[in-house]
Amino acid sequence: MTDPVSVTFHAIDLEAIATATGHIAVLVDAEGKLDQAGRRVNKLTRGALLRLVESEGFGALKTGDAATLTMPVGMAAEAVVAVKLARKCSTGEARKAGGAVGKSIGKGGALLLAGGHRAAADIALGAALRAYEFDAQKSKKSDPKGGLQVMCSDPDATAAIAAPHLTAAAGVFFTRDLVNEPANVLTTDAFAARLEAMRDLGLKVEVLEEADLEKLGMGALLAVGMASVMPSKVVVMQWQGGGDEAPLALVGKGVVFDTGGISIKPAGGMEEMTMDMGGAGVVSGVMRSLALRKAKANVVGLVGLVENTIAGNAQRPGDVVTTMKGDTIEVINTDAEGRMVLCDVMWYAQERFKPVGMIDLATLTGAIIIALGHENAGIFSNDDELCGALLKSAGAEAEGAWRMPMGAAYAEGLKSRIADAKNVGGRPAGSITAAEFLKRFVKDDTPWCHIDIAGVALKSGDSDTAPKGATGWGVLTLDRLVKDRFEKG
């Protein structure tokens, strides 16, 4: 498991800057002004920092971007990283600036000269998130990264603000590790074992095996995985830090690999279908975060773990399966399998836990990428209050999210001639009809949000706070939602 780099906060010590090793990061405002620590670096480098800051290239940088002085004369540091950031900046800008610092952290670590910047904690979080590296499957491991030291005006106060965010970063890394793992490593058994290991953190973890799922009547979920040698499972994780209150339920799609089944996907890009368990990965990361910070809330995380593959006993287009709810579903497309997994787990969550609200996450549709690209997750909901709180949390954590419409007219395409519903509604509004399918399995008195993370769970290039690959989108948002809306005291 990948752990975040250590982050420590210290009082400003101008004399220590000259002998600091590794990389030193200096914050420069939009006007090119240097604070006290920046001026000290400029003096040590005999004016080289100011010449960099006053250059045309630095002036053209966007907020949060950085330029580097390598092997600066007069300092022990390997490099000085000048980061452009206004004193008044957004959370996203601060974390992007931190990402520029985190990207540079190597074996020698880094020193961030944050001074009195009000966003020092967010800059530190951005750095910790961007310093992530996944090398579990490489024969030659990278050198361990050094820590991040933050010099700031009020280290105790800044550390207190940063602490819960840095704890959540551990949950983000757990999610990224899960999503980045290949399917021959992260089998359904291995996934369940990693979640069972979180009992050591105080989580109550149960694994429902295929025999249990058959007794419960989860015919839709079992049909998805019946062609695989990997056993289908549902893992239930409970964090009980809020007394006798009914829990918030988080439900994740955990398709550890998705061939599409008989409705097989094109070969190009199929290797990325190791990330089709991204929703389950996010739920797992959130549960880890809540346990690590001992959240004063009751939250249950449920993940359906299956593999959608091909064999002689694979489900076929035209098959009819019966869900735990009792609804019959005509399978039109075996590649619309995620909703078949979620519908049974969602119904089970409501029947067993009577949650105060339910949020499901899934890499569900390519259609959401067509609609929103890779910048925003799609949010669908039957409850304005819960949806508003979720969107507010996403905004506060600078994780892109956009509410999408729903309505009875969209559900018309799900009508089946031979069963209660079809599992797809055609090409138009594909992400919306998928949400309408899931809505069939939400009880009238359950506030619910569906989050389609197909466009944000894995990226083909670097982002502000993550290298190429899994992003961990959603862990910070849901951790904040629990903190702001469901925690006591």
Give the pLDDT means over successive 10-residue stretches in the chain (489 positions).
96 97 95 94 97 95 96 96 96 98 95 97 98 95 93 98 97 98 98 98 98 98 98 98 96 98 97 98 98 98 98 98 98 98 99 98 98 98 98 98 98 98 96 98 98 98 96 98 92
Query: Quick check: 293 and 286 in contact, CB under 8 A?
Result: no
| Assigned domain for 471 exists | yes
Q: Cite the active site residues.
A: 265, 339
Say which DSSP state 275 is in: G
| Assigned domain for 191 exists | yes
Query: Quick check: 28 and 82 in contact, CB under 8 A?
Result: yes
Looking at the structure, do residues 193 and 86 belong to the same domain, yes or no?
no
Looking at the structure, do residues 380 and 303 belong to the same domain, yes or no?
yes
Cα–Cα distance, 396 to 279 (Å, whole number):
21
* Long-range contact set of residues 37-43: C-beta below 8 Å, sequence gap at least 24: 37/12, 37/113, 37/115, 37/151, 38/113, 38/115, 40/14, 41/17, 41/72, 41/75, 41/80, 41/113
Looking at the structure, do residues 141 and 180 belong to the same domain, yes or no?
no
Residue at a domain's end among 121, 155, 189 = 155
Looking at the structure, do residues 133 and 180 belong to the same domain, yes or no?
no
| Assigned domain for 482 exists | yes
Residues 6+ positions from 212 with CB-CB distance below 8 Å = 234
Query: Quick check: 476 and 456 in contact, CB under 8 A?
Result: no
pLDDT for the residue numbered 309? 98
pLDDT for the residue numbered 229? 98
Cα–Cα distance, 232 to 3 (Å, whole number):
29
CB neighbours (10 Å) of residue 171? 25
CB neighbours (10 Å) of residue 427? 9
- As beta bridge partners, residue 452 has 362, 378
Looking at the structure, do residues 219 and 358 belong to the same domain, yes or no?
yes
Q: Label residue 366 exposed, middle or buried (CB < 10 Å: 0-12, 13-18, 19+).
A: middle
b/e 268-290 (16+ beta carbons within 10 angstroms → b):
eeeeebbbbbbbbbbbbbbbbbb
Give me the amino acid identity at 26: V
Looking at the structure, do residues 147 and 201 belong to the same domain, yes or no?
no
| Assigned domain for 165 exists | no
* CA distances from residue 240 to 163, 205, 444 in whole angstroms, order as listed: 21, 12, 25
Looking at the structure, do residues 359 and 454 belong to the same domain, yes or no?
yes
| Assigned domain for 114 exists | yes
| Assigned domain for 166 exists | no
Query: Quick check: 354 and 346 in contact, CB under 8 A?
Result: no
Cα–Cα distance, 349 to 221 (Å, whole number):
14
pLDDT for the residue numbered 234? 99
Give me the amino acid identity at 469: G
Looking at the structure, do residues 127 and 184 belong to the same domain, yes or no?
no
Looking at the structure, do residues 289 and 382 belong to the same domain, yes or no?
yes
We report the CATH number of the domain holding residue 407 as 3.40.630.10
* Residue in 400, 401, 452, 462 with CA at minimum distance from that of residue 430: 452
Residue 36 tokens read as 């006290």
Residue at a domain's end among 107, 128, 155 = 155
* CA distances from residue 15 to 25, 40, 148, 158, 290 in whole angstroms, order as listed: 16, 9, 18, 22, 40
Looking at the structure, do residues 193 and 226 belong to the same domain, yes or no?
yes
- As beta bridge partners, residue 304 has 234, 253
We report the CATH number of the domain holding residue 50 as 3.40.220.10
pLDDT for the residue numbered 1? 87
* CA distances from residue 39 to 50, 53, 289, 349 in whole angstroms, order as listed: 8, 12, 39, 58
**Domains in the chain, number:** 2
Looking at the structure, do residues 232 and 84 belong to the same domain, yes or no?
no
Residue at a domain's end among 155, 183, 204 = 155
- As beta bridge partners, residue 167 has none
Cα–Cα distance, 177 to 186 (Å, whole number):
10
Looking at the structure, do residues 224 and 140 belong to the same domain, yes or no?
no
Cα–Cα distance, 286 to 479 (Å, whole number):
6
Give the domain range for residue 194: 173-486
Helices (H), strands (E): how many in the chain? Answer: 16, 19
Q: Which residue has the tokens 């599409």?
A: 260
Backbone φ and ψ for 464, nearest 5 degrees, come out as -60, -35
| Assigned domain for 405 exists | yes
Residue 59 tokens read as 């002036």
| Assigned domain for 168 exists | no
